[in-house]
Structure 1
């Protein structure tokens, strides 16, 4: 009998396959308490040496307006960016690079990315619309200052979170042919 017997439920796989990005969301968002529960679960991502090289910043209300001003400054614009107002909740993903002889910086960023992706899956499964947004300004000084990032921290972007609109199904991704992406070690 195969481990992936067709009769066996596969909730994690099904949740991953059902996930969609929502570029437009409604004005409702998870509460801080709901978010804390999901962050605790997302923190279970693989983490070499248990460094926990990440943190998340919750932006609601006026925080999003401050971010809009920082983005404008980074881009040399006079008017604040309205991008952060596209969702009622933004979650900044920050990689916190820890000193380690065993775990290089790129691997620590990968852990932070893993937390963000897992959190986006959990939010989607909980019924929230989510999209991970970035931009060239994520590594700018004004945006780093707005987030109060330390010199060893790197902003990886934001999860934009809100209610799933009734009339939008979310972005659709074509399924891939796994044979194209899974190979054996060449001889």
Structure 2
């Protein structure tokens, strides 16, 4: 009886302490430098949630995701392009989904200059994505580090630097045309 009483009193308190992932949101527009820690390839990323489009570009390729049309466009360094339908869970949402799991707090740096962050995990591409997001009072949220593990167990880790809410490389948000779907062989 005492255990039941303790649970009925503590459970609502503990539930009220849980973080609501749907309140963790990125800015409407974002540009940042990227570095893939697996491949040592640097690039630039741009996201415009108001236009429902995002892109990542490096010297070898550009990937454009049209969130409205649910299509992904792959363009290689030679200008060849192909498009595929976008899987339902293959996109970084502006706000974390309700099923995101809070993993804990972190900090980059020391003392009063430390950058406080939160770690989250979301379903992604049949697997998971772990995100380290800034958590500075009064400041926008930015992704600083991500690790994706797809359904086949392939893992990729990227770091994101110099985030800004100003997009200077708007050309990356242009959907390649023509960009046909791959042909069946």
TM-score normalized by structure 2? Answer: 0.27
Larger Rg over CA atoms: 2
Determine which structure has the larger helix proportion and give its number: 1
Q: More strand by proportion, 1 or 2?
A: 2
TM-score, length basis structure 1: 0.27
Greater relative contact order (Cα 8 A, min sep 6): structure 1 or 2?
1
